Amino acid sequence: MSETSDRPRGRRYRRPRGESPEDLEPITDPEKAREIALGVLTRASRSAAQLREKLISRRVEPGLADEIVARYIEVGLVDDAGLAATIVRTRHSERGQSRRAIRMELARKGFEPDHIDGALDQIDDEDERERAGELARRRWQQLAAHPVDVRTRRVVAMLGRKGYPSSLAFALVSDLRRADDEDGGC
């Protein structure tokens, strides 16, 4: 324990027994609420829905939370369309996720359907197939020491976890198996 704190490091603060969130007064001071909102946005970009949810979870009165979110959208501190587009680019290029998986994540984070659709327009069917092919080839090569059925199962499963349809996964694996047969048969 540190000298400046009575609570152990690395542990979450637990509210003393008998003190529930209902016992605490809601925050109605706009300045305090804005301070909380800026703190939330400093840690990570958030959708309007996420920011509102975070403010309410920190006891900001819901009406005041709505006003703050609306004002932050107006001045550009919260940009759902831009954030959704950034999430789509990074999830697809860095993590190799499919449009379906990204759509589910954006919906879970509270983005509006029009923002989700607009952001996903960056990826077309060919981009998605190409990225899935890259992932499948890399994983197929990593599993070269394993039997073909094990390789097939693992590559299809990996693509499934990333949100790609099984029909695409099996088609890609079929192409990889055919390429291996051609290389081995020459």
Kindly list the averaged pLDDT for each block of 10 residues, start to end, along the chain of length 186: 51 57 78 95 95 95 96 95 96 96 96 97 95 97 96 97 96 94 69
> What's the structural domain count of the chain?
3
Q: Do residue 132 and residue 111 come from a single domain?
A: no
pLDDT at 15: 56
Q: What is the C-alpha separation between 92 and 98, in angstroms, rounded?
A: 6
Residue of 142, 143, 134, 145 whose CA lies nearest to 172 = 134
pLDDT at 20: 57
Look up the domain containing 87 and give its range.
80-120
Q: Do residue 136 and residue 177 come from a single domain?
A: yes
Q: Do residue 94 and residue 112 come from a single domain?
A: yes
- The string over 123-140, giving b where at least 16 C-beta atoms fall within 10 Å of a residue's C-beta and e elsewhere, is beeeebeebbbebbeebb
Give the CATH number of the domain where residue 61 resides: 1.10.10
Q: Do residue 113 and residue 130 come from a single domain?
A: no
- Report yes or no on 50 lying in a domain: yes
- Report yes or no on 8 lying in a domain: no
Q: Do residue 31 and residue 48 come from a single domain?
A: yes
- Report yes or no on 13 lying in a domain: no
- Report whether 39 contacts 2 (CB < 8 A): no
From 66, 88, 120, give the residue that closes a domain. Answer: 120
- Report yes or no on 16 lying in a domain: no
Q: Do residue 115 and residue 95 come from a single domain?
A: yes
- Report yes or no on 6 lying in a domain: no
Q: Do residue 116 and residue 129 come from a single domain?
A: no
